[in-house]
């Protein structure tokens, strides 16, 4: 039977320093089958079926990022031990994931004013599609409406309309901020 000490020693053999924070404090083993291990410094937690056999450590899955959120983009993804041993690979993977997540923002800072205005027009068109008389069919949300009441269907439409209105407000505020920044820069130069 595998002991907590066996699992901890296996982890320390392959990763004497925490892959996310670099601490030497060690790890705490948990779980009924002793398949979870957590950094005693940053709180990052990994799982591996390899801990159950305690023969060889091939891969680890990050189940919880550190207390400060470092590693969150790598959560629930299995990586080889070699990956977790390579701080540059971890850094690069986190940068790639951060770049991918930026594409989900309402707008990118490098967008031109014309691009922002096009996004505003697109959101205005979306609002008209989600008004009270619009249907859900073709919107990818019909599964939400099947078997629901008219009130619930109306709520979905209203929430979607509010979401689009908020996007418009954010985009308009960015255009105003840019205009004011430009005006302030001109005044400062005089």
Closest CA to 42 of 59, 63, 25, 58: 25
pLDDT at 20: 92
pTM: 0.52
pLDDT at 104: 58
pLDDT in tens, the chain (190 residues): 789 999 999 999 999 999 999 999 999 998 888 999 999 999 999 999 998 888 889 999 999 988 888 888 888 889 999 999 999 999 888 876 655 544 456 777 777 888 889 989 988 887 776 654 444 444 444 444 455 667 776 777 788 888 888 989 999 999 999 899 888 888 888 7
- Alpha-carbon distance of 45 to 52, in angstroms, equals 16
């Amino acid at each position: 039977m595998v002991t907590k000490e066996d699992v901890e020693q296996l982890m320390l053999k392959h990763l004497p320093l925490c892959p996310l924070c670099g601490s030497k404090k060690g790890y705490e083993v948990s779980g009924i089958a002793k398949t979870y291990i957590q950094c005693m410094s940053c709180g990052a937690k990994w799982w591996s079926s390899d801990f159950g056999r305690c023969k060889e450590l091939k891969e680890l899955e990050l189940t919880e990022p550190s207390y400060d959120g470092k590693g969150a983009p790598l959560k629930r993804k299995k990586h080889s031990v070699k990956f977790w041993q390579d701080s540059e690979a971890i850094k690069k993977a986190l940068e790639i994931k951060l770049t991918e997540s930026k594409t989900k923002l309402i707008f990118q800072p490098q967008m031109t004013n014309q691009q922002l205005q096009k996004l505003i027009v697109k959101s205005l068109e979306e609002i008209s599609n989600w008004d009270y008389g619009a249907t859900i069919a073709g919107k990818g949300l019909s599964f939400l409406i099947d078997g629901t009441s008219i009130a619930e269907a109306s709520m979905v439409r209203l929430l979607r309309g509010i979401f689009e209105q908020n996007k418009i407000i954010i985009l308009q505020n960015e255009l105003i901020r840019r205009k004011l920044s430009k005006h302030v820069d001109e005044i400062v130069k005089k």
